[in-house]
Structure 1
Amino acid sequence: MTDLKIIIRIARTDLAILFYSPIAWFILIVFSFLTTASFTSLMENIVTDYDLSGGKEVSLSGICFLGSYGFLSSVVSNIYIYIPLLTMGLISRETASGSIKLAYSSPVTSGQIVLGKYLAAIGFGCYLMLVPIASAIYGSLVIPSFDWAPVLVALLGLYLLICAYCAIGLFMSSLTTYQVVAAVGTLIILAILNFVGSIGQEYDLIRELTYWLSINGRTIDMLNGVIRSEDVIYFVVVVTLFLTFTTFKLTSDRCTISRFRQAISYLGFFVAAMAIGYFTSRPGMIKVWDTTRTKLNSLTENSQHVLAKLTGPVTITNYVNLLDNKSYRYLPIMKKANETIFEPYCLAKPDLQVKYVYYYDFAPNGVANNPKFQGKTVDEMRDYMTMIYNLNPHLFKSPAEIRQIIDLREEQNTFVRIMETQDGKRTFIRDFEDMDATPSEAEITAAIKKMISTPPTVAFIKGDGEREVSKSGDRDYSNFSIEKYSRAALINQGFDVCEIDISHGDTIPSLINIVVLAEMRTPLTEKGENQLEAYLARGGNLFILTDTGRQEVMN
């Protein structure tokens, strides 16, 4: 009998045993009921919202099935409850009854036993998958222009997660003769794999390894219709690792192996898996496939075109001031969360690197305004903040040291990013004072575009009582023109801004692309009017902005 036939026979036998037990039927019935109830409730809410919005065009397939609030996300968040109950008796039941000795005495290898039982577990997982698949089929029948591709990717992510859970549960079942202990042990391992991503985040190498090892969030991209090679490899490595652990455990039970050799073997398997995970998670090794119809999760074609014009290595340096109120979001423990902002750009341009420079200095809107810091020096404030965050004070450069590198006082010593090319071109990428705070693709691409081409210049006319860009009052235009921390500001959307006074007959420079005449309080002088007419005669662009009650002056 060939190896494959032996594995299939073991799988069929164990799958039949699963269905002979009430546990499997209980899991299937409860899972089907709760999953169906969740789907029908979600559909009811979506149909209600759709009717209330007047049938506005939306991607219903995405809203129903994808994303953090879609139906499949709720299934993913609850599937961990069922798998430990399924796998807890796969090996422990036979070990407790002694029937495992018959397998040991037969011409069947430990690997064949493990693969057969694992196929039985994921075979049962296929039965569980019938419920979300049926929901997707129903959705395709009632939703116009149903987008099957991303939904299938999300279903794949769910099944890969089931496969990983089954491999972990199978290993825990091999460690004990008590089924309940195996189930609880599986839950503990799953909890550890969810938590491990937050360990050692302040150290570069440890952060990369623990973040990769974490199973938390591994299906997020797939639930959005995106296949990442890093995530697929993760599931393959985790399944292989725990199946290897299980095979080695059965082998060590069949023949005498010293505890030291067992420990070294387990450690060797684990290190090999971590090495594979580390190298395959490097930006240059990751491949991404966005299956959504509109490529919703990818850089737009315009951004890709702009990024392609950047030649040579590019560095984005994050300057983090410990004494700035925004600093916590960018401390070492938050690095991986922040990297998601530029991840699409790093994938499109592997030689784009993100770095951090930490320093401490007085910031106008920083912690120095806290009454407890009154009268303290910046060094004393640094010591206190590093004690709170449990950080090494020597990680942060002093005010004198940071100013030898760059003077950020014009940025109010608040958090800022500087993108720089190898030939010295640079641009600022800022956070904004709004609900989202972090820059979106529009602001990042606009900043990059400033590096590869001359940005259009918008000139605001002054001298006749016009609204001004240098003032921040309700009447004036600072917030949407030159305010550094306003998302809508022209300087953050790819424009340069200046003011010109033409009342004395000064010529409007040829580099001006757009002139804004914003509600004069007094009429233009004759010289100013002539210069404006000359600008228009040579094809210039003019915005005339006015308000009621200003017609006489504006005319």
Structure 2
Amino acid sequence: MKTTCYLARTEIQKLFYSPVPWLVLVIYCFQSSLIFTGIWSQLLKNLSLGYDTSAITLRNFSDEMRGGAFQKISNYLYLYIPLITMGIMSRDISSGSIKQLYSSPITNWQIIMGKYLALLVFCLAITAVTGIFCLYAFYSIENVEVGLVLTGLLGMFLLMCAYCAIGLFMSSLTSYSVVAAMLTLGILFILNNVGTVGLDYAIVRDITYWLSLGAKSTYFIFGLISSKNLLYFLLVSGMFLGFTYIKLSSARQSATKMGNFLKYLAVFLGASLTGVISSLPSMQFYLDTTRSKINTLSKASQEVLSSLDEQLTVYTYSNMLDKGSNAHLALPKYVNYDFDRFANYVRFKPDTKIEYEYYYHKTDNEHLEKQYPFLTDEERLEKLKEINDWNFKIIPFASLQHKADLSSENYRFVRMLETRSGKRSFLRVFDDNWVLPFESEITAAIKGLVTTLPTIGFVSGHGERDSRNEFDRGYNRIAEEKAFRYSFINQGFYFADVSLGNAVPDSISILIIAEPRSPLSDTDRKHLDEYIARGGNLLICGEPDQVEWLNPLTGSLGVEFLKGTLVKPGDKSDPTLSILRPTAASKQFSFHMEEMLKSKNDVLVFPAAGALKVSRDHGFSVIPLVTSDSTEGWLELQTTNFVDDAPSFDPATEIKQPYETVVALSRKVNNKEQRIIIAGDADWISNGEILKQRPKIRTANYYLIKAVFYWLSEGKAPIDTRRAPPTDNSLTITKAGWAWHSFLLKWVLPLAIVAFTAVFLLRRKRK
């Protein structure tokens, strides 16, 4: 060890007595300062404009899409390291000093480790320069996430350690420093792209994906330390140091080319095998250093997984005749990335298996129908295989080994979750900008395997809104549209049609009565009253023109639908269009409403809404969730044809005041809390309203939808995936203060390193 330290000190002196590392430090510092000050300047601009600036640490250090400093800097590190490592061994080879080392009583490992430790000192110097900007972040960000920043620094340091080991080996192969630098750049390019090699073959794919440097440091930059990625950097560094040892040994002792090749192969296979084994789910350990635990499943998801005591298998069914984006989601070359989508789930349930089935079957693909109208499915598949270079096995649906009933899914891309006992549920992709399911949808699908999901019953038989109706008035999209992310079946609910001609089944958790257009019979009323009396949860939605059928249903609850339609003439073309915000009291009702209130632009939109009059002496606790606008709005009693006539305010019969439009009622019944929602509009969850987009209006009815059904289901669904809110949301510096700080970081700091370098090298030259 003493000899190794002596050699390391000698190499450090050689390294830093040269102007090259100092020049690299200056360039690195200047480039990093430009990146950092640019990010901070934009942040201050966003703060002054009132934009959302939550989670400043994560955004400005980790998130590349939002200008993450660590992500940007790490993309340039491969350019700096070869300039330092190129002469670490080749200099000794070209000068002949390597022969003196060979003839001295110094082992190969002492030579290698001495030089490698010198390189690590330079890496620490790079890290120290980066640390200056981190220290400024600690000073300027209120409640900064120190753990996240330090973990990111660790990831960048480990990446540089791997680069140095690679550069050391490349430098040992030649006496020309420039050639060593080019070889290092070449091998870094290969290791960053080797993950795209042999993806159609599982064994090759596992090895090349593990070897790929790719974005391994990104996990650290996002605050996640995993044993797999930590060991990866150690193994890659050790592998190339082992290669260097074999190279030096071959120079000291004669060995055949085949013998050396076998040694290289043994080291490579040993490191790869160790890496693959360490990547097994049961062998991994994790540490999430972020304050909000963004790299870890939410508590609700962890509880669901802890209840699953059977092995879980995820069958992925890819119909290669599906529309383009879906057909490419789980191609063999993307399988490893697909695994990462379930990494957090495998982390808590290591025995989870993911299987892939590639098949073809006719499905709804308009593009394919137009492009190849006269070809059979087999002929269309052959065309696609030729165009996309698909070399993997694709079989007819009838030949699938593990069949599922995919006809109900229209043979779209879908996953089937199955337990060992045979319980099944579907996990879908969606027709929106994100396509892939979020944690809430994945957990909802798993939850259906371990517990009975709440069932929503849609009352029918009186002209109510139909859960299967696909027209504008229908509720198909929110109830059972498979390609819609927020539909009940994708958020952890079952649904069923309910006839009040019979008693409401005990399996119904929530009953929906949406705009009945005829009176309930005595039998129907009896069964509804029995459901309410036993404490069943209920949602009643009405329209202004159906007051006579609604009030008999809500009278016993202390709620009256008032005659008339809420109007507010103004810039809108339709005066009956109610653009509303939640009440302040809705915060205590649901965290969803609290989230909506934080946004200044999100609004609730109710077309042609009615008003409610709520009595507080019927034994219910009442929370008004939404009220009409208190300025220039009223309940129009006279005008009924809003197409041909314009409403006009009549002070004799009409009052300009806020009216309650959605209220929540609750009381204790049979040792449980009964929950009831009454809404003066039935269109707020209709197909037409969910799909409609209006200029300059940011409709956010989804907040209310999620809040209502989360409350009615007693917190069972949708899945609550909240994490602790970020607290690093503001800066402690002003714009005027930043002008000086920016100048110091961008110019003074690099120039200070230049000045120190000049003084240090001049003093060295004089000596």
Q: How high is the TM-score relative to the length of structure 2?
A: 0.69
- Whether the 8 Å CA contact 2:226–2:286 is kept in 1: the answer is yes
Q: Shift of the alpha carbon at 1:396? A: 2.2
Structure 2 gap segments, 5+ residues each: 552-767
SS of alignment partner, residue 433 of structure 1: coil
SS of alignment partner, residue 405 of structure 1: coil
Q: Shift of the alpha carbon at 1:532? A: 1.8
The reply on whether 1:39 has 2:62 as its aligned counterpart is: no
Structure-to-structure mapping, 1:89-488, within 5 angstroms: 89-325=87-323, 326-365=326-365, 368-371=368-371, 373-392=372-391, 395-402=393-400, 405-488=403-486
Match in the other structure for 1:510? 506
2: CA distance between counterparts of 1:177 and 1:57?
52
1: CA distance between counterparts of 2:178 and 2:216?
27
Q: Which letter does structure 2 place at the counterpart of 1:331?
A: L
- Whether the 8 Å CA contact 2:46–2:53 is kept in 1: the answer is no
1:541 to 517, 537, 542: 537
Match in the other structure for 1:554? 550
- Whether the 8 Å CA contact 1:362–1:368 is kept in 2: the answer is no
Write out per-residue CA displacement over residues 442-475 of structure 1, whole angstroms, 9 at most, x where no aligned residue: 0111111111111111011122222211012222
1:519 to 515, 519, 529: 515
Write out per-residue CA displacement over residues 150-207 of structure 1, whole angstroms, 9 at most, x where no aligned residue: 2111110000001000000111111111111111111100000011001111111111
1: CA distance between counterparts of 2:290 and 2:404?
43
- Whether the 8 Å CA contact 1:226–1:290 is kept in 2: the answer is yes
The reply on whether 1:5 has 2:11 as its aligned counterpart is: no
2: CA distance between counterparts of 1:465 and 1:388?
51
SS of alignment partner, residue 515 of structure 1: strand
- Whether the 8 Å CA contact 1:36–1:131 is kept in 2: the answer is no
- Whether the 8 Å CA contact 1:230–1:280 is kept in 2: the answer is yes
2: CA distance between counterparts of 1:324 and 1:63?
36
Task: Identify the range of structure 1 (116-125 vs 45-54) with the bigger mean alpha-carbon deviation.
Answer: 45-54
SS of alignment partner, residue 354 of structure 2: strand
Q: Which letter does structure 2 place at the counterpart of 1:28?
A: L
Give the length in aligned residue pairs: 547
Q: Shift of the alpha carbon at 1:211? A: 0.3
Task: Identify the range of structure 1 (511-520 vs 62-71) with the bigger mean alpha-carbon deviation.
Answer: 62-71
Task: Identify the range of structure 1 (268-277 vs 252-261) with the bigger mean alpha-carbon deviation.
Answer: 252-261
2: CA distance between counterparts of 1:518 and 1:366?
35
1: CA distance between counterparts of 2:391 and 2:244?
41
Q: Shift of the alpha carbon at 1:7? A: 1.2
Write out per-residue CA displacement over residues 103-155 of structure 1, whole angstroms, 9 at most, x where no aligned residue: 12211122111111111111011111112211111111121212211211111
Aligned CA distance change for structure 1 residues 95 and 392 (closer, same or farther; 3 Å): closer
SS of alignment partner, residue 514 of structure 1: strand
2: CA distance between counterparts of 1:391 and 1:62?
39
Q: Shift of the alpha carbon at 1:405? A: 2.6
Q: Shift of the alpha carbon at 1:501? A: 2.9
1: CA distance between counterparts of 2:292 and 2:396?
48
Task: Identify the range of structure 1 (378-387 vs 78-87) with the bigger mean alpha-carbon deviation.
Answer: 378-387
2: CA distance between counterparts of 1:386 and 1:367?
16
- Whether the 8 Å CA contact 2:195–2:211 is kept in 1: the answer is yes
Structure 1 gap segments, 5+ residues each: none
Higher strand share: 2
SS of alignment partner, residue 516 of structure 1: strand
Q: Shift of the alpha carbon at 1:392? A: 4.3
1: CA distance between counterparts of 2:203 and 2:381?
26
Write out per-residue CA displacement over residues 264-300 of structure 1, whole angstroms, 9 at most, x where no aligned residue: 1111111111111111111111111111112111011
2: CA distance between counterparts of 1:478 and 1:359?
29
Using CA pairs under 8 Å that are at least 6 residues apart, name the structure with larger relative contact order, 1 or 2.
2
Task: Identify the range of structure 1 (543-552 vs 378-387) with the bigger mean alpha-carbon deviation.
Answer: 543-552
Larger Rg: 2
Match in the other structure for 2:606? none
2: CA distance between counterparts of 1:296 and 1:76?
21
Write out per-residue CA displacement over residues 331-377 of structure 1, whole angstroms, 9 at most, x where no aligned residue: 21111111112111112111110001121111122664142x22222
1: CA distance between counterparts of 2:218 and 2:387?
32
- Whether the 8 Å CA contact 2:43–2:53 is kept in 1: the answer is no
Aligned CA distance change for structure 1 residues 403 and 27 (closer, same or farther; 3 Å): closer
RMSD of aligned residue pairs (Cα, Å): 1.7
Match in the other structure for 2:60? 64
Write out per-residue CA displacement over residues 513-547 of structure 1, whole angstroms, 9 at most, x where no aligned residue: 11111123333334333322221111111111234
2: CA distance between counterparts of 1:179 and 1:550?
86
Higher helix share: 1
1: CA distance between counterparts of 2:9 and 2:282?
42
Identity among equivalent positions (%) equals 38
